[in-house]
Structure 1
């Protein structure tokens, strides 16, 4: 009499029967992923130097801000992440069973299994950089609380976790995006689903970069940079613009594009040229958008704000005409509303960009930004710089490949200019020539600062073209291209460019969920190179936030392990 099937849910025995069930499992996991968006944002940005608390912040947010987290802090609870991981494991198990019983074919299995595996790896990496040592669970379990039982699941520290994740990611049978004919590459509730799914090469590149395997990191990132290459020149705008760091459908700088990276519709082609991974909060579906409460002082709780040091960073920049201004700062990344600095990147679907007033306080649509072309370029530049190609790093930060490589003192032949002419993964072609007609894929690459009309980082604008003068760093006389600087040795040159990359990330990527990972990666790398240097780097970045705001509450750490959160299970 008790053997009655539920009427409001699909019984497990009736599930996992066909490709539609498989798709529902995958999309269900991504729907659940949205539930950790607010926690992800707080952990990755408030722990860094670019975000600060407001007078409305509770004690838990203040703990995150000052790196004094107690075990009962809900923002530091790993359980929500493991809930998503557990569902990844469950879907992967059932996909395997479906494939073994021939309910789905190999191609459908490979794509979905690899997607879930990559998302799980991304989640574990997030847990690793915040908690330092975590249980690594790769099988479906009945009770999620079993995760905390050390007798059942081994705990890996970060140095053990990253190679484990790399090995798993390398073994995945499918690393590209969902194929064009896939039932998951479609429209879901009016949104293009291709933007919803984690990019496997980006995850792999980030893992390699953490492991200081710069060459393989660059290979992975280059794969994403070349996403549209199989389409060929005939694809036109897509070929010349997707992920290459352009500012629209033309070769010229179009500085108005920056706000559009966040405010445009997901259907907009220029939005899709910039964004690699983004998700949406829709007023008609759960979970609710957490960013309104976090950021908005109109209809929200206004819990966090841009830090004083972040605002100072933007104000310290100049345009190419020497105007003291960085358009990525005020009225784009943040806006003064009722006398308060408000983080705007996540609010363009909620607040009017001009007035700062919500059109409807009850309609809280929004986007969750996860990975875009600028982030890809900065991390590729980091790998290139560490491999010895600091000129590439300089080009991607500043004025792009075509301009930076336009001068080659060894030739007068135009076809031998404006490209790197290096082996893969550093062969970037920025040539634009009419006779013969050559359009290198990266001829519209304007550089991160270039497409914002920002003055070249580190040198006067007038000196920018001659900055490198076509000389690679391993050639005699490279020192002369760093006038009035103390950087003379090669190790110092690498650190000089690496600091420029980190500084540019603060200006370009603020509040997009990458800052803590970037700061921690650099700190651990430098700590391994010279004990104390990484600790000093990270202490300095966080201390600067408190110094700029005039507030106290931060005590410098004395060891790298002190940066990790306590792993407490709620």
Structure 2
């Protein structure tokens, strides 16, 4: 009897022809991959292929992450083309069956990880599966599972936690449900262990037969960045800062290497290529952990259907007026740099076609999607430093440099924007006296400028508002995108968001276990 989890894994392996790789028969698996469960993990190669299958499942997460992470927040809104499911999400009134809010694709990834973790011990009979390799595989599956659970925990009030293989469940099994604090604490425990394990390093043969290392680290979730984000979430800022620095400096090849460093070279020439390629040219310097697509292997996402106003697409989502205004306010004539913010904003983050404002970051159906990239991790580091009252360090990262690395030019420095000063912040936010809070305002706005439409915004707003104990700040911010066009809706949404319990959704009833075990 075949198992559907195995079917998902094998399908994922066959689809994942990652565009940054070359000379690899590895991505052309033979038909004997479809096999009985007891044979699926009994060798090094089969566990390795299962890892590829798990990461292939990430491609199905991009659309819900972009929609759920953007449409509930302030920078994205619906268009004149009515879509009931998207209007529900924007109004925070999600009904059962809304496809954008379904946990199903996330649990597909989780259950595949569980299946591998429960069965991969069989591979120890293969002499190529050393203890070090085994630990690296185990850590990778646990990292993927933890990251996926973290995405669910940011969407839903309570998340059913399943850690066993499907064939180990008994009739009537009900998994325990974790709220957000319990989930994050558990994930930290999981990731502390995983982060102490070896990183997977795979080799393949080039055209001449020479063994070469495959650059999988651009696909694998960066453990330092993820664990740092978890610590940041619970207010353990020193640990978070240390991990973000490791991601930037150590994982980026050392302080003399340009990768992960947010330097001028990583953005000046072809900024838009960050969403077209992963392991080539400037984009190699920016990407840390990425979900790639390749249309030549029928790997595409649905973001163009949602965002493009071309006649062949639906044009259902667009940048809010607030988002456009934020970018336009960052292009001062007195800029200390020569050519202003032409690496973000109009014609890069968004474009105007005819009368329509269009999200343009994803200009192709196989545009890559960043889980972590250099600018994001730098801003997370600045956030951690600021919360430790190191406001000068935070502003330095924002403006011009990270002291640990001579190759870092700062988030604003590399896109040639005027530096943010404490005096300017005090003038702009006259009602705030605390310097940490002032810098926090600058950081949340910079994350809007840099990371709009990348699935981060809603979680950013929740994190900042919850930490400050100011639900009214989040409520006003989100409602502001409706004030001009629909004041009644703005008022209704603001009132709803004053209630912290409305910030996450009720998860729909799960039929995952029944479907997975039915075969």
- TM-score with structure 2 setting the length: 0.82
Q: Give how far 1:103 is off.
A: 6.4
Q: Which has the larger radius of gyration?
A: 1
Q: Give how far 1:16 is off.
A: 1.7
In the superposition, relative to structure 1, how do residues 183 and 197 fare at CA in structure 2: closer, same or farther (>3 Å)? farther
CA–CA distance in structure 1, aligned partners of residues 429 and 67 of structure 2:
37
1:400 aligned counterpart, secondary structure: coil
Please list the CA deviations of residues 21-42 of structure 1 after superposition, one character each: whole Å capped at 9, or x if unmatched. 1111000011122112111111
CA–CA distance in structure 2, aligned partners of residues 38 and 100 of structure 1:
40
2:477 maps to 541
2:28 maps to none
Please list the CA deviations of residues 361-420 of structure 1 after superposition, one character each: whole Å capped at 9, or x if unmatched. xxx43212221000000000000000121111101111224xxxxxxxxxxxxxxxxxxx
CA–CA distance in structure 2, aligned partners of residues 145 and 216 of structure 1:
40
CA–CA distance in structure 2, aligned partners of residues 565 and 185 of structure 1:
48
Please list the CA deviations of residues 88-125 of structure 1 after superposition, one character each: whole Å capped at 9, or x if unmatched. 11112222342377662112112221111111111111
Count of aligned pairs: 469
Larger helix percent: 2
CA–CA distance in structure 2, aligned partners of residues 159 and 167 of structure 1:
13
CA–CA distance in structure 2, aligned partners of residues 288 and 32 of structure 1:
13
1:137 maps to 162
Q: Give how far 1:50 is off.
A: 0.8
2:394 maps to 393
2:372 aligned counterpart, secondary structure: strand
1:221 maps to 244
Q: Is residue 345 of structure 2 the alignment partner of residue 329 of structure 1?
A: yes
Which aligned pairs between 1:35-184 and structure 2 lie closer than 5 A?
Answer: 35-99=60-124, 104-142=129-167, 152-172=174-194, 174=196, 177-179=199-201, 181-182=202-203
Please list the CA deviations of residues 407-436 of structure 1 after superposition, one character each: whole Å capped at 9, or x if unmatched. xxxxxxxxxxxxxxxxxxxxx34xxxxxxx
1:21 maps to 46
Please list the CA deviations of residues 191-223 of structure 1 after superposition, one character each: whole Å capped at 9, or x if unmatched. 953311111111101110111111111111111
2:316 maps to 303
Q: Is residue 415 of structure 2 the alignment partner of residue 452 of structure 1?
A: yes
Which aligned pairs between 1:328-407 and structure 2 lie closer than 5 A?
Answer: 328-347=344-363, 350=364, 364-401=365-402
CA–CA distance in structure 2, aligned partners of residues 337 and 184 of structure 1:
46
- Tell me if the contact between 1:79 and 1:569 (Cα under 8 Å) persists in the aligned partners: no
- Tell me if the contact between 1:294 and 1:301 (Cα under 8 Å) persists in the aligned partners: yes
In the superposition, relative to structure 1, how do residues 458 and 315 fare at CA in structure 2: closer, same or farther (>3 Å)? farther
Please list the CA deviations of residues 115-143 of structure 1 after superposition, one character each: whole Å capped at 9, or x if unmatched. 11111111111111110211111111139
- Which of residues 293, 301, 306 is equivalent to 1:281? 293
Q: Is residue 149 of structure 2 the alignment partner of residue 207 of structure 1?
A: no
Q: Give how far 1:338 is off.
A: 3.0
CA–CA distance in structure 2, aligned partners of residues 65 and 551 of structure 1:
15
- Alpha-carbon RMSD across the aligned residues, in angstroms, is 3.2
In the superposition, relative to structure 1, how do residues 485 and 225 fare at CA in structure 2: closer, same or farther (>3 Å)? same
Please list the CA deviations of residues 408-466 of structure 1 after superposition, one character each: whole Å capped at 9, or x if unmatched. xxxxxxxxxxxxxxxxxxxx34xxxxxxxxxxxx2221111111111123579xx9xxx
Q: Give how far 1:287 is off.
A: 4.8
- Tell me if the contact between 1:370 and 1:513 (Cα under 8 Å) persists in the aligned partners: no
Deviates further, 157-166 or 193-202: 193-202
- Which of residues 260, 272, 279 is equivalent to 2:284? 272
Please list the CA deviations of residues 309-334 of structure 1 after superposition, one character each: whole Å capped at 9, or x if unmatched. 00010011134634996321110001
Q: Give how far 1:293 is off.
A: 1.0
Please list the CA deviations of residues 154-208 of structure 1 after superposition, one character each: whole Å capped at 9, or x if unmatched. 11111111111101111226456433x556999xxxx953311111111101110
Q: Give how far 1:296 is off.
A: 1.5
In the superposition, relative to structure 1, how do residues 456 and 207 fare at CA in structure 2: closer, same or farther (>3 Å)? same
In the superposition, relative to structure 1, how do residues 104 and 297 fare at CA in structure 2: closer, same or farther (>3 Å)? same
- Tell me if the contact between 2:321 and 2:481 (Cα under 8 Å) persists in the aligned partners: yes
1:10 maps to 35
Q: Give how far 1:525 is off.
A: 1.2
Q: Give how far 1:10 is off.
A: 2.0
- Tell me if the contact between 1:23 and 1:184 (Cα under 8 Å) persists in the aligned partners: no
CA–CA distance in structure 1, aligned partners of residues 299 and 268 of structure 2:
34
Deviates further, 40-49 or 7-16: 7-16
Q: Is residue 188 of structure 2 the alignment partner of residue 248 of structure 1?
A: no
1:360 maps to none
- Tell me if the contact between 1:315 and 1:324 (Cα under 8 Å) persists in the aligned partners: no
